[in-house]
Amino acid sequence: MNEEDDRSRFEAVYRRTHEQILGYAVRRCSSPEDAADVVAETYVIAWRRIAELPDGESGRLWLYGVARRVLANHRRGERRRLTRHTELTEEIEYLYATPSPESGHDGVDEAMSMLSDADRELLALALWEGLDPGEIAQVLDCSRNAARIRLHRARKRFAKALEQARPPARFASQPLVEKEAR
């Protein structure tokens, strides 16, 4: 292929996949600016590796895989730059936060935070991106069976974390006075 063919092919892939890759990044980044950086870097890599970019649906899944790795690199860099800031924020929240017992939260966020990055990514690919195990396998560069097993285990760990995050129903329904009287 010549450079003009590569450019046309890249532009077609970009038009066809940009919205999906942007959505993937936006749902995983803390700011729109970070998401834009992840998407830009993803397509820079796609341009540099245009000869390796598969055609059709496989190309979209290949881009998800690239975006996933770019996002992982971005997160590592953020962690390196913000380690002390995070420690101070957690200390302040611990010392000065006043949790509300009637906040109405269902424990999903807390349960997700208990999971590993890999489990959160698997669940997000299945739920947010709507990918089936075969597509997840292509994104993660593993076998379909491995993706199915990992997804099953991630769902089980999520269910267990959710049980831990939610207050037991028997305590939630009893008035405070009754608990103290015991």
pLDDT digits (tens, 9 = 90+) for 108-151: 888 888 899 899 999 989 988 899 999 999 999 999 999 999 99
pLDDT of 83 strictly over 90: no
For the chain, report the end-to-end CA distance as a whole number of angstroms.
79
What local confidence, expressed as pLDDT, does residue 35 receive? 95
What local confidence, expressed as pLDDT, does residue 82 receive? 75
Rounded Cα distance between 128 and 20, Å, is: 11
How many helices (H) and strands (E) the chain has is answered by 9, 0
What local confidence, expressed as pLDDT, does residue 138 receive? 94
What local confidence, expressed as pLDDT, does residue 106 receive? 67
